[in-house]
Structure 1
Amino acid sequence: MNKRNIMKQIGHRLLSLCIVGLLCVPVNIYALGHIKLSESKGIYTLQATQMSMRQIFNYVETNSKYIFAYDKNVNNRLEETVSISVKGKNTPQIVRELCQKTGLNYRISGHQIILSNRTAKTQQGNPSKSVKKVTGVITDATGEPLAGATIVMKGDNTKGTVSAIDGSFSLEVPEGAEIIVSYIGFDSQVLQVDKRTNFSITLNEDSNMLNELVVIGYGQVKKKDLTGSVTAINRDDINKGVQSTAQEALLGKMAGVNVVSASGAPGSASTIRIRSGASLSASNDPLIVIDGVPVDNSSIEGGGNILGGINPNDIETFTVLKDASATAIYGSRASNGVIVITTKKGTDSGVKLNYNGNVSVGTIAKRLDPLTADEFRAYVPTVTGVPSNVVFGKENTDWQDEIYRTAIGTEHNVSASGNLMKSAPYRVSLGYTTQQGIIKTNSYNRYTFDGSISPTFFDKHLSVNVNLKASAENDRKVDHSVVNNALRYDPTRPVKTGSSTASTDPGLGYYIWMNGTSPMAIQTDNPVAQLELQKICNKVNRTIGNATVSYQVHGLEDLRLNLNLGFDLLRSKYTKEVPDLAGTMYTSNMKDGTGLNYNGIQKKRNTLIDLYANYQHEFAGKHNFNAMAGYGWQHFWRKYNDTTLSPKGKELFSPTHFESEYYLLSLYGRLNYTYDDKYMVTATLRADASSRFAKDNRWGYFPSVALAWRLTEEKFLKDNRILSNLKLRLSYGLTGQQDILNDYPYMTTFTVSYPESSYLFGDKWYKTLRPNAYDNDIKWETTSTWNFGLDYGFLGNRIYGTLDFYTRRTKDLLNTINVISGTNFSSVLTTNIGEMENKGVEFSINAQPIRTEDFTWDMGFNYTWNTSKITKLNTIDSESNFVQTGAISGTGKYVQVFMVNKRPYTFYLAKQAYDKNGKPLAGKYIQEDGSVSTKETRCATNKSALPKAYIGFNTHFVYKNWYLGMNAHGAFGAYVYNYIKADQYLQSVYSDQGNFSNILPSTRDLGFDTQQLYTDYFLESADFLRMDNITLGYTFKNLWNAKSDLRLAFAVQNVFTITGYSGISPELSTGIDRDVYPSPRTFSISANLNF
């Protein structure tokens, strides 16, 4: 067979597909003529009358996943006209019948069907051998019969048949022949016909699942060859349900990955933790790599979302690297794990267009109800200390009704993909999202663009891949304190005063508390005035792009040279405008009654160069080597400016200017060796030099090694019908942390003071500069990780999953210690002093309990157990040496600590005393000796804000064109400090100035007269199980052709939560419930059109 001619024919076919897609639909309509084809799940009904073989093959090719290639001597045969009528058969079966009519041979290789003339031997058979009748039954791994399986004689496709509805078949072939048994979605089998003529054949599910390529650092590897702990989800999992942010795609989907939304506001960021993080004072965020570009994870002015500019509809796969074997290739930035995001690219097929849009309605899922106005009027006079002559307002205001609303959102995404000039796959997409928040005035808009083109040259030896992503986010924010203020504000007061001089009155017509003719100095803000008089906006523009060039060396095809040039540009503008006389300004540290016009502009630029080589070679059919070595350079630059003016343009504070940069230089390499598809070794080494450290500590070295053994490739398991995959993995390695406090921690630096520390000269306030303490010996945080895991699969991988055990130890943790105050004017110093231990178990299982032609049921479950313990924190470790964290209201008030032999974010509270009926005794606490006293003795509890275990569950049902999917997740073992309740007490309902504050019925019933902030009574279990999403959809197939379809779906997000927590939501990354924006319950209708 002429290989060059075959490749030429493939090229012609691809070009013809592109031209057909680009011209117009009428061409296809005209081509129908006397041919009709319909498809359902890969099963076709074909009717053709007096059509040439070439026309039929071209039409089948256009409407299926197969590409036809022709030997040079079959062209004349393709012009022969035939008539054919087949029903309920797949593409190979149709091709077999066509070949029987014309005497052609065919061979299937992947998605390529190669046609050739039949040789004389093939046509005549071998008369010297007797013909035998072969019978058998074909089933899947569960014993279910497979109807429609193809059975053909190897070397003669004219001798074949298909299995009946009970899986049985009968076929006559020469003695000694081989038969091939195949079925779509299953691995084929080749059987020898000798003395045995009756077969019981079990086909296993297509092993392509194990042959899937998984994206790892600087390359790809087959899933079956992975030696590290790596989890990937593809676009099929991502697209189930309505998701407006990229983080939502990870929620509950992977063991070891915990995603917590920081806020229910649209477009808000989420906290992502892989194996709970590895640091205390430095960053615990994972490294995020988008199409080969590691993005800057540092905070965005105004609280922007790091992944906010990535449209979930553009994502092809999420790959999470968890253990050191997988992450060490990223070295100093990988101690908290790595998330590799690959976006969708163009394909070799014709032009494809897609529209995906939805309309959503959001409502508050849960709210707390304080006393009504009537209840408030009746209760307040009974509180001790409240004067008997207090005067209430005449209104009945539900302040929560005043701030919450039904939120409307829409999303529109369009994309086009195809292939230019046969060798340049491309894809472009545009997205627009607009979403109201459930709190009035809050809104979010996002525009996204994603484009890629991947041309190849010189017979695909040279490939270029260009990616560009751009986004513009416009966010009208709200001050989250409005949530608590709506609970606290006097329900007997009106929203507005109705004054005719509102424009010149304090509060600008909104009700505020007055002391005579002057506003009260300390008061709860009118929540509606907060929303309508404060304008807080955040605009973020981001562009991420890269160009990669890969050259497969001519004459040395096993060697590939790669160059990656990338950038990440970000500009954000955060503004806050408050008019003069707004009530909210009377509680600030500024001059009473002045407004505010604040502008903060942040710019970031991250550029990178990666140059690396890959070499892959197989020796003697069993030894496979894959080596990679490279060099990397990155530059990070940040700049920040702000101004604080009055509404009339007067400078209230001197401007702030900040500019900083650092560099990262890297050398890295990796070696993968596989023997006989059974035994695998991976060794990795990366050396990073960071300008964030002094010269003597600048370089960090991060090695790893991993071993894997595929037991199912051994002879004693290879023929096992139950166990289809079993692989053991063991790895050890080091990773680092250089995302520390600032870019120059080893040098003398100065900090610009906060407005509260400004000095007044004349009529202008000036900020001050103070020197920071520094440590010129500061160095990397280093994390070592042991990981033992196994991958398993049963019944042809209809049941599969992973199990991992890991231990991580981080040394040289950054911690703040006490030092003698000197010229630095500081008595504390941040240095490498701490150590922490982290261990856990991860388990995942996926199954397909039912799989028939019309109905499938898939389900997945994952479980993670994790515990962390601080093992060293100071030069002298004791219970008195701890670090305060978990700040609440007021200076110096905190409820959490870092302490040796305790979990991070352990709560530090007094132990509440109770009476014999279980009622808490106000102001009474249990001491260390067990006695009860009024002394508020605080100590470290055994309760932390970090969950000990979390789970994820998903299940999907497909019946013909119907789809039903559900996703849930939960967390257990964490605790939440309910500050909303702790901040309320009976005497808070009335102040000496004469203003009122509302309380919850639970506060009234509790009976604490005075504030009890530090009692563990307000510490509650945060265990919960949440149904995140339910989606019901229907797909209309074959709208214009076999590749056009429309999917309509109805979805509910945040369906329900099962929890014992008394607040709005138990799922809080900080473990402190204060001013938290509630998550909405969202109902949406979506449409997805492909053509």
Structure 2
Amino acid sequence: MKQTLRNYKPVRLGSITFGFLLAGLTVTAQQLPSDSLSVLYSDARYQDLRRKAQSLTAIDFNKGLISNSEQLFTGKFAGLQLSAQGGQPGAGTQIRVHNITSITGSNQPLILLDGVPVNSQQTSFFTGVLNFINPSDIASVTFAKDDATLAVYGSRATNGVLFINTKQTHKSDRIRVQYTSTAAISVLRKKADVLSADQLREVVEKEYPEEANLLGNYSTDWQDVIYRNAYSHDQHLSLSGSILKAVPFRISAGHQNQQGILKTTQSKRNTLGLALNPSFLQDHLKLNLNLGGAQQDSRLAQPDLIYNALIFDPTQPVYQDNQYGNYFAYLDENGKAASYSPLNPLSLLEQQHLTDENNTMAGSAHLQYKFHPLPALKLNLRYSYQATDNAYKLSVDEKLAALEARNGSIMLQDFDRGTKNRFTEAFIVYEHPEQLLQSDISILAGVADATIKRVQNYREWMYNGTSSWWQKYKTERQTRNLFGKVSLLHKSKYGADLAFSSVRESNLVSGNNMFNIAVGGHWNLLKENFMVEQSSFTSLNLYGNLSSFKNDNSLAFVESAPSTSPYYGTLVDPDLKPENIIKLNLGASFGLLDDKLHGKLSYTRSKVKGVIHPVGVSRQTGYEYYLANVADFTSSGLEAAMQYKLVSNEQFEWGVGTTISYNTTNLTKMHNGMNGISYSPNYSGYAYFISRPGQPVNTFRLYEHAYDNNGRPIADTYKRSQNGAYILSEKNSPDPKLLLSVSSDLTYKKLSMGLLFRGSTGNYVFNALEQRTGYFLATENDSYLMNAAGSYLKDGFLFPQLRSTHFLENASFIKLEYIQLGYHVGNLWKDKVNMSLTATAQNALVLTKYKGQDPEVINGVDNGQYSNPATYSLGLKLDI
């Protein structure tokens, strides 16, 4: 892992885009001719960006069965938190910066794929934003957030920029074929703790003997019924080289078939990619063409399936002879499915067909001309287009007992969504070493336009045709941006930057243009005379910058309004303004011990003014909410990334690395007489968050549970104030205070070993699944029994303890992201083929006090998520 980009070499030219069309710097792992320059930076200035950024090449990526591109760099970058959106095959990953700049809006950095901005609002609910790119086609990933010149990217650069770059070839490259294959098995890492059949019998016979007749004669582990060992494979083939040593090309194809550990769930993905990057007129004219497509088909599971498996009576069988597909079901006196009785978990898997199909086609062309009379001046033109279609469908077997047991059940549901992104840009770059001033100067200016069109159709039909519903929704968003920057590097040791962008949105709710500006400086201390005699440092650089971004988070609320969002029917404060985010970055990069140790330290402080948030209003107005600027808050953090080469010789190399990120937040002010912002994540109703002045952002707000002298929770009892009201506790947050990772890479002759541990501390999770299952009550009015969590034997709850602090748990963890053993077989078949073999374990070890199945829970409320499995794989790589 090369956290400081020390030996990283730029390959291709980048671009400038904004909003959804933002500026981009493209780099890959291959070397350009020595006279080549980056679009945004001169060679000398680019070296400084490298010292501030963190970067990975293909050799540094995470290993194993990689189902989405985000997995390649999970845990690799200081200050960047990546959390899997559950264990569903093909699911995406939440990407957010640790130093947050929004309470309910996006904290995701801008993602540029080969200089093209990636839409952060993915078309499908069940895939990631990078699902259309095959992970094996990615050459490098760079994360930059401490550079003033990032202001040219617009307000989406508030949280930094992820430069993701695909593999390219050069004119001199020979024809080359590469094939990789991975076969894997995934298993449930940890079962949920529920009463076994024998434990349930003991509880009923002891506490409810009059209900013992409801017990069955079976011992069914419903988790064993719904889970399985899942088998997967991934294949990737690429052909690259140069046609007549004039047209470099790369063609790739991939296929992945991934089973889920929940029965019936599966994801199949096919990808194709083509890249051409010829140059003409002695490299004065360069053209980069990229075409790609992806098809991903997923079979999904019913969202509340895991909860159903945990509460279903383990003394009952899986099957019985009946009219409901022979799946066991509770029947009433008429032989019909009993109303609102528990549902057979296996029938929900096998008698409901939930699918999600996602198809993407994308292409881009980037033309750069270096003027013959003045080579320091370059003209850049780019055109890009991406179309994505998504189809989610639910169809239900007419024999499913749930259709009769749940009045008004959905029989058929279609949800089609499509997105078309088109953008163009033109910009000029002037960069040249000015001998008279002993300085390198770089000037950039340009304009860009983007259009994003969205359409969605929603249809559903109820059981027995009782009702149907249809909705059609279209939006179009246009963006125009003017941007520029000036960079100066004096005597290769004093640098200064000024950058800006002015974004105009067609549907900007606040009615203002968003203007972003940043200034920065950097200092190479080793160039100073007083550092000449020292021998400890091989590099030492200091930098700092101050930026101001305008962000209009109201766009997210308005775009979601025509769907099923709770913000439907929203007024807008006439004085609404974009959020103003002022960021201060200070840092240092260094190399020590003959460059065996190198790293980066940084401090970031963000001050957010005028947080945009919906505020409730009287129903008599005919509206539920209005959008207003309601609060200010700060976010402050320290980060470190270091790499140390312990051993380095011809036969043995061993390097270790670490990243650490610490962050705190504080709500400093409320506007309009408000005393706080409260909301429920995912509208679950099980837990609420509050943000008040003097408190961290996103604090849990729950009833303080009462305990006896032995520390046992008292059922249905919460602490009360002196006036008798229940005490609402406001403490802890789902946001971790500390993120950390430790990696190790070792090579001895033909053997290799790599591993990555990552974790977090200070993050809490409300275990809503435990709240829903942690009680047991049998009454004579019921014709069935419901199982309970194992905690019932200790707590004895008879009813759910709603919004209780008893279920708020410390979810700090340390996880073995992967460990891999490799063997480089070497050259075979008369040295025509080079072969490598690997064996990898992923997510095999998790250390945590959290009682649930997985401590990583997005939004901090665990309703019974699809657990991330442990995966074991074998890999083969052939270079021909």
Q: Would you say same fold, with TM above 0.5?
A: yes
Distance 1:1061 1:236 in 2: 34
Write out per-residue CA displacement over residues 603-622 of structure 1, whole angstroms, 9 at most, x where no aligned residue: 10111111011111112283
1:389: Cα distance to partner?
A: 5.5
Give matches, 1:276-315, under 5 Å: 276-315=99-138
Structure 1 position 558 matched with structure 2 position 376: yes
Structure 1 position 940 matched with structure 2 position 737: no
Give matches, 1:453-468, under 5 Å: 453-468=276-291
Q: Who is 1:248 aligned against?
A: 71
Q: Who is 1:1011 aligned against?
A: 800
Match of 1:667 among 468, 471, 482: 482
Distance 2:422 2:347 in 1: 44
SS in 1 for 2:846: strand
Match of 1:217 among 15, 24, 33: 24
1:872: Cα distance to partner?
A: 3.3
Change (3 A) 1:1041 1:389: closer
Distance 1:336 1:244 in 2: 25
Q: Who is 2:307 aligned against?
A: 484
1:789: Cα distance to partner?
A: 0.3
Match of 2:689 among 891, 896, 899: 896
Structure 2 residues without counterparts, runs of 5 or longer: 15-22, 26-38
Q: Who is 2:458 aligned against?
A: 642
Structure 1 position 258 matched with structure 2 position 81: yes
Q: Who is 2:327 aligned against?
A: 510
Aligned AA (1:924): T
Change (3 A) 1:464 1:207: closer
Aligned AA (1:536): L
225-234 or 1021-1030, larger mean C-alpha shift: 225-234
Change (3 A) 1:887 1:292: closer
Change (3 A) 1:750 1:1061: closer
Residues 661 and 743 in structure 1, CA contact (< 8 A), matched pair in contact too? no
Distance 1:360 1:923 in 2: 47
Distance 2:789 2:161 in 1: 44
Give matches, 1:792-807, under 5 Å: 792-807=590-605
Aligned AA (1:391): L
SS in 2 for 1:225: helix
SS in 2 for 1:252: coil
Q: Who is 2:31 aligned against?
A: none
SS in 2 for 1:209: coil
Residues 65 and 234 in structure 2, CA contact (< 8 A), matched pair in contact too? no
Structure 1 position 414 matched with structure 2 position 237: yes
- Mark the structure with the bigger radius of gyration: 1
Q: Who is 1:349 aligned against?
A: 173
Aligned AA (2:190): K
1:264: Cα distance to partner?
A: 0.9
Residues 709 and 729 in structure 1, CA contact (< 8 A), matched pair in contact too? yes
Aligned AA (2:285): L
Distance 2:315 2:351 in 1: 22
Residues 473 and 540 in structure 1, CA contact (< 8 A), matched pair in contact too? yes
Residues 945 and 1070 in structure 1, CA contact (< 8 A), matched pair in contact too? yes
Q: Who is 1:734 aligned against?
A: 548
State the aligned residue count.
Answer: 849
Q: Who is 1:12 aligned against?
A: none
Match of 1:631 among 444, 447, 452: 447
Give matches, 1:296-335, under 5 Å: 296-323=119-146, 325-335=148-158
Q: Who is 1:358 aligned against?
A: 182
Residues 776 and 792 in structure 2, CA contact (< 8 A), matched pair in contact too? no
Match of 2:750 among 951, 955, 961: 961
Write out per-residue CA displacement over residues 425-445 of structure 1, whole angstroms, 9 at most, x where no aligned residue: 111110000000000000000
Match of 1:601 among 396, 416, 439: 416
Q: Who is 1:181 aligned against?
A: none
Residues 644 and 651 in structure 1, CA contact (< 8 A), matched pair in contact too? no
Distance 1:752 1:728 in 2: 48
Give matches, 1:11-22, under 5 Å: none
Q: Who is 1:1038 aligned against?
A: 827
Change (3 A) 1:233 1:600: same
Structure 1 position 883 matched with structure 2 position 678: yes
Aligned AA (1:1018): F
Aligned AA (2:655): D
1:1009: Cα distance to partner?
A: 2.3
Q: Who is 2:17 aligned against?
A: none
Q: Structure with the greater relative contact order (CA < 8 A, sep ≥ 6): 1 or 2? A: 2
SS in 2 for 1:278: coil
Distance 1:265 1:528 in 2: 17
Change (3 A) 1:297 1:990: farther
1:1040: Cα distance to partner?
A: 5.1
Structure 1 position 236 matched with structure 2 position 34: no
Distance 1:459 1:1077 in 2: 55
1:719: Cα distance to partner?
A: 4.9
Q: Who is 2:30 aligned against?
A: none
Write out per-residue CA displacement over residues 616-648 of structure 1, whole angstroms, 9 at most, x where no aligned residue: 111228310111111110101100012223689
1:208: Cα distance to partner?
A: 6.5
Structure 1 position 809 matched with structure 2 position 593: no
1:236: Cα distance to partner?
A: 1.4
1:820: Cα distance to partner?
A: 4.5
Match of 2:343 among 518, 522, 525: 525
Q: Who is 1:905 aligned against?
A: 698
Q: Who is 2:584 aligned against?
A: 786
Structure 1 position 444 matched with structure 2 position 267: yes
Distance 1:843 1:281 in 2: 27
Distance 2:800 2:381 in 1: 63
SS in 1 for 2:828: coil
Aligned-residue RMSD, C-alpha = 2.6
Structure 1 residues without counterparts, runs of 5 or longer: 1-205, 758-768
SS in 2 for 1:565: strand
Aligned AA (1:902): Q
1:207: Cα distance to partner?
A: 11
1:1070: Cα distance to partner?
A: 1.4
Q: Who is 1:700 aligned against?
A: 514
Q: Who is 1:838 aligned against?
A: 635
Residues 885 and 898 in structure 1, CA contact (< 8 A), matched pair in contact too? no
SS in 2 for 1:1085: strand
Match of 1:677 among 492, 495, 510: 492
What TM-score comes out, normalization by structure 1 length? 0.75
Give matches, 1:607-626, under 5 Å: 607-620=422-435, 622-626=438-442
Distance 2:536 2:120 in 1: 45
Q: Who is 1:169 aligned against?
A: none
Aligned AA (2:361): T
Q: Who is 2:201 aligned against?
A: 377
Aligned AA (2:341): Q
Distance 2:314 2:697 in 1: 40
Change (3 A) 1:468 1:770: closer
Change (3 A) 1:411 1:1003: same
Residues 641 and 658 in structure 1, CA contact (< 8 A), matched pair in contact too? yes
Distance 2:800 2:191 in 1: 23
1:291: Cα distance to partner?
A: 1.0
SS in 2 for 1:697: coil
Distance 1:920 1:698 in 2: 53
Distance 2:876 2:413 in 1: 41
Change (3 A) 1:732 1:586: farther
Residues 51 and 589 in structure 2, CA contact (< 8 A), matched pair in contact too? no
Change (3 A) 1:1050 1:918: same
What TM-score comes out, normalization by structure 2 length? 0.92
SS in 1 for 2:202: helix
Aligned AA (1:1069): I
1:250: Cα distance to partner?
A: 1.7
Residues 99 and 604 in structure 2, CA contact (< 8 A), matched pair in contact too? no
1:670: Cα distance to partner?
A: 1.3
1:844: Cα distance to partner?
A: 0.9
Give the % identical residues: 26
Write out per-residue CA displacement over residues 81-137 of structure 1, whole angstroms, 9 at most, x where no aligned residue: xxxxxxxxxxxxxxxxxxxxxxxxxxxxxxxxxxxxxxxxxxxxxxxxxxxxxxxxx
